[in-house]
A and B are shown apart, each in its own frame.
Chain A
């Protein structure tokens, strides 16, 4: 039981962590909770279905599995990056100087709009996510582990490591950190702040797209509501880890999913979602700055 819940928790944690990155990166730079971020994740899953449908009719899923896997992630990533950039441009940038409540309302509005838009276009019923990877399962310390779980974990952890490296080492990554710490000063050394902000939305959306496709593959069904619950969970994870802090988002994602998984395994599967939001409330009351959020407050300490 323990090993099984651990494995399940880790897989879900990888998904939460990927989505939480988008919340935390955007918060780090704009002090804005992008409530439409969960919808980007949901759209990523839908685009994944569309890509698989096209690849299927072309017969590519049969002939070239590797290429199909690359495309089923890559195309939603690009699509969602465009969505994220557009979202920022349309819903947040015009409100940059406005009181803090305005972009928040705009975020909630965009979230509702995207949810309803997808419902109108794709229908309200669940959609099946075609099975692409037929991987066997094996037993490990008494837990059933399947190939898809390993695939999800390896891909997610690889992406997280790549992002960390990117933020730490590259010029653009340093510009993101500098912009998070002092936006005006970043512009005074020649950083095009608008471009960095757009790029930040793009990165967060790319991670959400990957998470969306992963969840589609993992559970096999998608609907237009999945962005809401997953978004709230990932937001909880980001707050738990310390919002604005990249490492914190990863830690928070895994921690929340593990807590949830053990709660479901040992206490009650029915109240799993409520448990996650209880965690959010408890964190907000007793440690609003999160596990890794410290003295600095706004700045991104990676």
Chain B
């Protein structure tokens, strides 16, 4: 459903993405692993229209979207849960969720989805009147995922959702992600935690210094000596 073809992107003179090509097939969970600074976040921001690509194309179901504004990309069903969660700190939890549904006009559907995301993460319902900035890291991650779901995405992009969280909370979050996947939403997962990502995915890419160096089934990558040494700490 989503395809990147030879994407190049620069921060000023820094050539951060140097010809990235990859694909997310419908119904698949695809992950992208790679060490700090490889270009994973830059890739997600390019997909979302925040990073204007210098060369290459991004296709969503055949339509070129790389010259589109971020809001047009959300409209087409791609939503990102960015690195560091980026909760609106002075909006309440409920207002944060409402912002997730910013482009929707079906009030009753939005209401339903509010109930739905609160059933996924009951803590959000308890904290709905609290300001986003007062939540703990784990709660903020849950809110960030719930906020993205409020746009009813076809493809959810997640940037390091496990970063800095306790194992028990990571488990909760990945249970919910599994449920979202089973309900038919595509997931593109960026992770530094390669164990976690490979176990959860149907297909995996490895990125190094702005390039994709491998793309295969998780089992194959897990058996690859290079991946084992660099990313699985063996």
Residues of A within 8 A of B (CB): 171, 174-175, 177-178, 181-182, 184-193, 296, 299-301
Contacts and interface: CB of A to CB of B under 8 A. Distances in A.
Query: What's the dominant secondary structure at chain A's contact region?
Result: helix
B88 A182 contact: yes
14 contacts: A171-B102, A174-B95, A175-B99, A177-B91, A178-B88, A181-B90, A185-B86, A186-B88, A188-B74, A188-B79, A188-B80, A189-B100, A190-B102, A191-B71
B141 interface: no
Given A188-B50, A190-B71, A174 B90 contact: no
B113 interface: no
A299 B151 contact: no
Interface of B: 48-50, 69-71, 74-75, 79-80, 82, 86, 88-91, 95, 98-100, 102-103, 147-148, 151
B44 to A, nearest CB: 10
B70 to A, nearest CB: 4
Of B98, B99, B147, the most chain A CB neighbours within 10 A belong to: B99
Contact of A187 (B50, B88, B98): B50
B91 A186 contact: no
A69 to B, nearest CB: 36
Contacts of A300: 90
Given A187-B50, A188-B74, A189-B102, 20 more contacts: A171-B98, A174-B91, A178-B99, A181-B90, A182-B88, A185-B86, A186-B88, A186-B99, A187-B69, A187-B70, A188-B86, A189-B74, A189-B99, A189-B147, A189-B151, A190-B75, A191-B71, A192-B71, A299-B89, A301-B90
Contacts of B74: 188-190
Contacts of A186: 88, 99
Contacts of B82: 184-185, 188
Given A174-B98, A190-B74, A190-B151, A185 B88 contact: yes
Contacts of B86: 182, 184-185, 188
A178 B91 CA distance: 7
Contacts of A187: 49-50, 69-71
Contacts of A192: 69, 71
Nearest to A194: B69
Contacts of B95: 174
A193 B71 CA distance: 9
Contacts of B71: 187, 190-192
Contacts of B99: 174-175, 178, 186, 189, 191
Nearest to B48: A188
A181 B96 CA distance: 12
Nearest to B86: A185
Nearest to B147: A189
A185 B49 CA distance: 12
